[in-house]
Structure 1
Amino acid sequence: MKERCNAAIERMKEDFAKNLSLRSTTGSMESLMVKFEGKDYELQELAQIVRKNPKTIVINFSSFPQAIPNALKALQGSGLNLNPQQDGTTLYVPVPKVTKEHREALAKNAKALYIKCRDSVKDVQADFIKKVKKQSSISEDLAFNVSKQINAICEEYQNEAKHIYDVKHNELVGK
């Protein structure tokens, strides 16, 4: 049970690190999923991504130029506030200024990721409580006590996730 709860929190931390950066980094683009020839690929598998200067990221598609239209869609729909410009097999991505609206959008995404994590922990909790209640070989009192322990453990994980979210939210909105 603890492994599954830890996995949910680690997944949330990874999502925060990849998707909720105030500055658009090459790292946040590398793992962006692009549909190409019927399969999903990470952008870094299809193109070379380089930071040209603090305000521009260059994505070179010389190996897979036919993936450019789908990559453009993925970049524009990523929620990273990106507006890539195409020049041949190269995309130039201006790094956007951090606006209040961008911060608020990131904070909204952070809340969605937190809720997803919280729901995963609740699913784990429900699974284990169901398993305990199905056990016919234990007394009702023991099942009740075990259920209370499961609830307490899952509540700790939910509180940890909430704390991580609160810290990230304050960072994003500039508090």
Structure 2
Amino acid sequence: MGTRILQRVIAPALINSFKPYRHNVTQVKERVVCLNTALNKSIIRTYAKSKDRGKDKKDKGLKVQVDPMLMSELIPVDKMKERCIATIDRMKEDYAKNLSLRSTTGSIESLIVKFEGKDHELQELAQIIRKNPKTMVINFASFPQAIPHALKAIHSSGLNLNPQQDGTTLYVPVPKVTKEHREALAKNAKALYIKCRDALKDVQNDFIKKAKKHTSVSEDLVFSVTKQIIAFCDEYQSKAKNIYETKHNELVGK
């Protein structure tokens, strides 16, 4: 009898006393599982980002190989090259003619004068001679009526020139090279470079359009040639930039 009473009272009490421990163990296990899952997920995401970044850097560093034979299947490569070279040469000529610190003769010769309703370069209307390092002589014997128009163009040119008239001749003192004059020339050099760069981009776009007109070839070929055209013209843009930077440093006295 006593044994049965003990079984009915003590046994349930012992069982109930162990329930919290089982519950706590289950909670701990669940938390460990959740923590491991979260850690695994975060590690996977981190590795994915690192991998992607490495891939982007690798792709960015790849240089397009230019194959003239392949490009010639879609475009006339020689003509594209000729246009690029001509654009660079034009920039060099403009620099040599208009951006010299030692002489403003080139700038005067190409100065635009509005005369009789048309635009003319000054050298078309007068004979321009460098009398000495400090003076230029502009002779309007052939078109004396153009003198007022020429004076107006010279005064508004920003070349810092102050011509003196004697009959049909203008005497133009060549100013000393000042810091302001250097900065003005450097600004003009940049403008001519931008003009050259834009012209090279026009060449690039023209030949990309020509390549894309070929609809009977594979898309992969058109894509490859397009990339090579861009790389080809980029080389000439780099040349133009180097020429500009050299000229800029010369003009500002670096």
TM-score (norm 2): 0.65
What secondary structure sits across from 1:15 in the alignment? helix
Looking at structure 2, the residues matched to 19 and 74 of structure 1 have their Cα atoms a distance apart, in angstroms, of: 16
Counterparts of 1:85-164 in structure 2, within 5 Å, are 85-164=164-243
Counterpart contact for 1:62–1:89, Cα < 8 Å? yes
Q: Could you say if the C-alpha distance between residues 10 and 106 of structure 1 is closer, same or farther in structure 2, counting changes exceeding 3 Å?
A: same
Q: 1:42 aligns with which of 121, 146, 157?
A: 121
Superposition deviation, residue 73 in structure 1: 2.3
Q: 1:28 aligns with which of 95, 102, 107?
A: 107
Question: What is residue 13 of structure 1 aligned with on the other side?
Answer: 92
Two-structure CA RMSD over aligned residues (Å)? 1.5
Number of positions where the alignment pairs a residue of Structure 1 with one of Structure 2: 175
Counterpart contact for 2:113–2:150, Cα < 8 Å? yes
Looking at structure 1, the residues matched to 117 and 184 of structure 2 have their Cα atoms a distance apart, in angstroms, of: 30
Highest relative contact order (Cα 8 Å, sep 6+), 1 or 2?
1
Identical-residue share of aligned pairs (%): 82
Q: Which has the larger share of strand?
A: 1
Q: Which runs of 4+ in 1 moved over 4 A?
A: none
Where does the alignment leave 5 or more consecutive residues of structure 2 unmatched?
1-79
Moved more, 163-172 or 127-136: 127-136
What secondary structure sits across from 2:101 in the alignment? coil
Counterpart contact for 1:23–1:95, Cα < 8 Å? no
Counterpart contact for 2:98–2:104, Cα < 8 Å? no
1:26-85: CA deviation from partner (whole Å, max 9, x where unpaired): 333223332222333332232122222221111111221101112112223334322212
Where does the alignment leave 5 or more consecutive residues of structure 1 unmatched?
none
Give the number of the structure whose alpha-carbon radius of gyration is greater.
Answer: 2
Question: What is residue 82 of structure 1 aligned with on the other side?
Answer: 161
